[in-house]
Structure 1
Amino acid sequence: MRYVDFTSEELWKQFLPGDHLALDTIVKRHYNLLYQYGCKFTRDAALVKDCIQDLFLYLWHRRNTINETASVEHYLMKALRRRLARALSKSGSMEGIGFLEFKDVAASPDEQLIQQEQKAALADKIKKCILQLSRRQQEIIYLRFYLNASAADIADIMQLNRQSVYNLLNDALNKLRQHTGAYFKPAMALSIILLLVLSQL
């Protein structure tokens, strides 16, 4: 059986009855994504890795009580977020869970997007604005523009209602537009934000 040809949701159905190879494939397929997402909440890489390992061990031992899911990726992200929240709260390192601020952005050369000088100036403007956003807004931007998650998916992952997601996202984008002035052209908005998020990884 060629597990690499299966979708994650198909693998999930194989894993639930006890197929450990299907779970192994899910782990390999989603580990990097989960690690990158987890590191947005804490700089303790070891803690992130431990939480991911604990999550998959839990899934294996509790597979008989787990249901099918429409999105394995979002299921795992939501589960990891909860596990990290508990771990961080227990350690006393943070009050609950909060999205870490974005690191400095180094503009990469890409003449097809805009001229290098304009891109560097725009990147600096957006970076400064992102640093002023709330942690929830930063997380929503990451989920929406890097992972292409829908409002419904974001609401589920972050345990918010959908209207709160819309409000936080719209407020964040309005702040970006206000603080970037003429450089921030609507047609380029999503591409620039995506570029900035990718450069954090």
Structure 2
Amino acid sequence: MSNNPKMTISTARISLFNKEVVKIFESKSDLEVWNSFNKGDEMAFNYLYRTYAGVLFQFGCQFSKDQMLVQDSIQNLFISLRKKRGSLSEVSNIKGYLLRSIQREVLRNGKKTSSKMVLDDSQMDSFFQIELSPETSFIQRESADQRKIQLQEALKKLTAKQRQAILLFYEEELSYKEIAQIMDFNEVKSARKLIYRALSSLKEFIKPTI
């Protein structure tokens, strides 16, 4: 096994890559893809892994500094899903479901191994960093480089939970309901309120530069 988790996952994704398979499943809804996978379609399983392994790795690393643990968690998650095919509930947003699942898997595996590299709440403030690029949906309307730098600095002043919510809402394009599930909120309005407060804070942080 490679000592570089990113390389290992990238290689695995390439090995599963098939243009025709991608073309077939990209035209389907999440529910259709999931149902195909749940019925035992191996191409659907390969498509899911290829499409989401990288996203899950990046997200999982927000909860653990141990990249090998995150990689193993992703593999364990897909192995578990494969074994449960035929009995899984319907899923209408695959990304949201998998992000929620990998978060739990990483934290659970961290506890099993007593890994000191799995983060607790007191260590989270330096995580969920958001790197802004020209394609970042959150700043697509901002063209000035200086403005992007100011916004990047403002994002660093948010709490880890606020950054996580912003990332899930704008970058991963999840709904308030899905964000609430991932962040273990009892009510959807808690996710909506967190994002609203985060945006309000951002406006205050960059207010002097407007």
Q: Under TM normalisation by the shorter chain, which class is it? A: 0.7 to 0.9
The secondary structure found in structure 2 opposite 1:63 is coil
Contact 2:130 2:163 in 1 (8 A): no
Choose which of 57, 65, 69 in structure 2 pairs with 1:35: 57
The secondary structure found in structure 2 opposite 1:64 is coil
Q: Residue 105 of structure 1: CA displacement? A: 6.4
Give me the whole-angstrom Cα distance separating, in 1, the residues matched to 2:90 and 2:133.
41
Give me the whole-angstrom Cα distance separating, in 1, the residues matched to 2:154 and 2:208.
15
Residues 1:136 and 2:176 aligned together: no
Choose which of 170, 188, 194 in structure 2 pairs with 1:162: 188
Give me the whole-angstrom Cα distance separating, in 2, the residues matched to 1:76 and 1:37.
10
Contact 1:3 1:11 in 2 (8 A): no
Residues 1:64 and 2:86 aligned together: yes
Q: Residue 77 of structure 1: CA displacement? A: 0.9
Contact 2:33 2:44 in 1 (8 A): yes
Provide the residue aligned with 2:10 in structure 1.
Answer: none
Unmatched segments (≥5 aa) in structure 1: 185-201
Contact 1:51 1:83 in 2 (8 A): yes
Distance 1:62 1:164, change over 3 A: same
TM-score by length of structure 1 reads 0.75
CA deviations 1:122-169 (Å, max 9, x no partner) are: 333323322222111110010111112121121122221212112211
Alignment of 1:142-181 (within 5 A): 142-160=167-185, 161-181=187-207
Q: Residue 74 of structure 1: CA displacement? A: 1.1
The secondary structure found in structure 1 opposite 2:86 is helix
CA deviations 1:156-187 (Å, max 9, x no partner) are: 22221212112211111111101101545xxx
Contact 1:9 1:70 in 2 (8 A): yes
Percent of residue pairs bearing the same amino acid type: 24
Unmatched segments (≥5 aa) in structure 2: 1-19, 136-140
User: What amino acid is aligned across from residue 103 of structure 2 in structure 1?
Assistant: R
Provide the residue aligned with 2:8 in structure 1.
Answer: none
Q: Residue 18 of structure 1: CA displacement? A: 2.1
Distance 1:170 1:81, change over 3 A: same
Q: Residue 37 of structure 1: CA displacement? A: 1.8
Contact 2:60 2:106 in 1 (8 A): yes
User: What amino acid is aligned across from residue 52 of structure 1 in structure 2?
Assistant: I
Distance 1:136 1:181, change over 3 A: same
Give me the whole-angstrom Cα distance separating, in 2, the residues matched to 1:9 and 1:3.
17
Cα root mean square deviation, aligned: 2.7
Provide the residue aligned with 1:194 in structure 2.
Answer: none
User: What amino acid is aligned across from residue 179 of structure 1 in structure 2?
Assistant: F
Provide the residue aligned with 1:82 in structure 2.
Answer: 104
Contact 1:107 1:123 in 2 (8 A): no
Distance 1:85 1:45, change over 3 A: same
TM-score by length of structure 2 reads 0.72
Query: How many equivalent residue pairs?
Result: 176
Give me the whole-angstrom Cα distance separating, in 2, the residues matched to 1:104 and 1:9.
31
